[in-house]
Amino acid sequence: MELLQLQYFRTVARLEHMTKAAEEIRIAQPALSQTIARLEADLGVPLFDRNGRHIKLNGYGKAFLKKIEPALALIEEGRAEVADLAGLEGGRVFLSTTTHKCFTDVIGSFISRHPKARLQITQASTLDKIKQLRSGDIDFCITFPPLQEEGIEGIPFLTENINIAVPLAHRLADRSNIDLSELADDPFICIHAQNPFRQMTDAFCEQAGFAPNVVCEVDELSGVIHFLRTGIGVAFLPETLFEGQEMGFRLIRIENPDCRRTYQIAWLKDRYLSVAARTFRDYVVDYFQEQPKQYKI
Whether residues 209 and 66 fall in one domain: no
Contact 93, 140 (CB under 8 A): yes
d(C-alpha 225, C-alpha 236), whole Å:
10
Whether residues 255 and 183 fall in one domain: yes
Whether residues 94 and 37 fall in one domain: no
Whether residues 145 and 272 fall in one domain: yes
Whether residues 139 and 285 fall in one domain: yes
pLDDT at site 296: 41
Domain assignment present for residue 169? The answer is: yes
Domain CATH code at residue 124: 3.40.190.10
Last residue of a domain, one of 35, 56, 71: 71
- pLDDT at residue 243 tops 60: no
Whether residues 203 and 256 fall in one domain: yes
* Nearest-10 crossing angle of helices 126-135, 59-86: 70
Whether residues 62 and 32 fall in one domain: yes
Number of domains into which the chain is organized: 3
pLDDT at site 34: 92
Last residue of a domain, one of 71, 90, 109: 71
- pLDDT at residue 126 tops 90: no
List, for residues 245-265, the tens digit of each pLDDT value.
557 899 999 999 999 999 999
Domain assignment present for residue 295? The answer is: no
Q: Tell me, what DSSP letter sits at residue 238?
A: E
Whether residues 90 and 63 fall in one domain: no
pLDDT at site 294: 45
Count the alpha carbons within 13 Å of 195 in the hemisphere toward its beta carbon: 13
Residue type, 204: F
In Å, how far are 97, 136, 141, 193 from 147, measured between CA atoms? 14, 17, 10, 20
Whether residues 125 and 266 fall in one domain: yes
User: For residue 182, which phi and psi values (nearest 5 degrees)?
Assistant: -65, -15
What is the extent of the structural domain holding 180?
160-260
Domain assignment present for residue 151? The answer is: yes
Whether residues 217 and 253 fall in one domain: yes
Whether residues 274 and 253 fall in one domain: no
pLDDT at site 114: 84
Domain assignment present for residue 202? The answer is: yes
Q: Tell me, what DSSP letter sits at residue 294?
A: G
Whether residues 128 and 272 fall in one domain: yes
Domain CATH code at residue 251: 3.40.190.290
DSSP code per residue over 136-196: TS-SEEEESSPP--TTEEEEEEEEEEEEEEEETTSTTTT-SEEEGGGGTTSEEEEE-TTSH
